[in-house]
Amino acid sequence: MILHALCEYYRRQEEELPPPGFERKAIPFVIVLDRDGRFVDIEDTRDGNNKRDKGRPFVVPQGVKRTSGVAANLLWDGLGYVLGVVSETRAAKLDAAKLEKEQERTREAHRVFIQRIHDVFPLPIDDDGVRAALAFLERGDFCEVFTHPLWPELNKTTESLSFRLDGDLQLICQREAVRQAVVATERDTATVRNRCLVSGNLDVIARLHPAIKGVRGAQSSGANLFSFNFTAACSHGKEQGQNAPVGEYAAFVYTTALNYLLRTDSSQKLLVGEDTFVFWAEKPDPAEELFADWLQPDPDDPARGVEAVRTLYEAPKTGVRPLNEDETRFFVLGLAPNNARLAVRLWNVSTVRELATNIRQHFDDLAIVRSPRDPEYLPL
């Protein structure tokens, strides 16, 4: 039920969410190249207004699922993969012996990053952007990057970086040739198809599901709703995702929808204690915008919460259909961190009518005589 509802939400938001094979990723630094693969500049996509600003989000080829091995993303990745150097932040935490080992691993990661491009784009390469990125990487002369004014900041980041051709607006990994290559790879991953328990369709069963990010307290690299990493959790010799068969498409769709709801600037997310809650309706509904303001008003804008409660009470007077007559289904999912997994703390399916009635009853129960200087409605 949870996965099916998330898949329906993806279909509702399909124009805004990335297609299969892609994901939305914040990339703070972009290496700008000319068409011969020579370094031009480093572009900073951050706006500088927030210490937690991780840069502008881009739709990029979906990242690989990493455990302890070396595996590269296509034309975007971390500093070690892209430039083959250990970041200053990482190096400061290691002694000499561990640093040498880390440098060796990073050089291997860089080789794998280049090989991934060759694997997807066999010679001859027709696309100017892919050809420029490969020329830059295989030339291996990054001195101009290391002497750029932004290098000290780039050298400290743990976020990803990518490439752009000088004069283009899109990243190289967003070019049409890359999009077609990713789509072709998605189609050719496997031929054996089984029944997906979410969609009911025949599909390649996802062995590993994409990570869920944005749950407070969970690993920054992401955590899983489904994983099978010891024998007792497996049935009849099945491995990993075969124990709960979810098709590749459904796995991509539900994780993309959930990651969208959990994004940093989401208005459909609440943090309560150690738990992270997301909520959505089965179709566009005012309750999606009002729910967070009812339960957890912005301390910097308390008037907005008061206005949200007033909307709950006064909708009939304004000619808007009262929320307590709205039979649209409304979903609330509560998640908590549990090592590399996520625990489902709450799954509630109701209607906007039931939700509005209960919340209005709460405010009715709290109604007391107050000073005119006190807020009209006390927030939860």
Task: Kindly give the parts of the chain with pLDDT less than 50.
Answer: 318-319
Pair of tokens at residue 8: 């329906």
What is the model's pLDDT at position 72? 92
What is the model's pLDDT at position 228? 76
Residues 6+ apart with CB under 8 A from 238: none
**Helix (H) / strand (E) containing 278:** strand 275-281
Residue that has been written with the tokens 């908590």 in this structure = 336
Beta-carbon count within 10 A of 186 CB: 17
CB-based contact 52:264 (threshold 8 Å): yes
DSSP annotation of 230: S
How does pLDDT run across 152-177, given as a tens digit for each residue?
A: 989 888 889 999 999 999 999 999 99
Nearest to 322 by CA among 351, 293, 348, 298: 351
CB-based contact 223:340 (threshold 8 Å): yes
What is the model's pLDDT at position 241? 66
Nearest to 287 by CA among 355, 348, 350: 355
Q: How far is CA 342 from the centre of its chain?
A: 15
CB-based contact 215:222 (threshold 8 Å): no
Give the global pTM: 0.76
Nearest to 219 by CA among 340, 127, 111, 107: 340
Return d(Cα 380, Cα 377) in angstroms, integer.
9
Beta-strand relationship, 22-27 and 161-165: unpaired
Give me the helices (H) in the chain, please.
2-12, 79-83, 88-91, 96-120, 128-139, 143-146, 151-154, 176-187, 248-261, 286-295, 302-318, 352-365
What is the model's pLDDT at position 378? 66
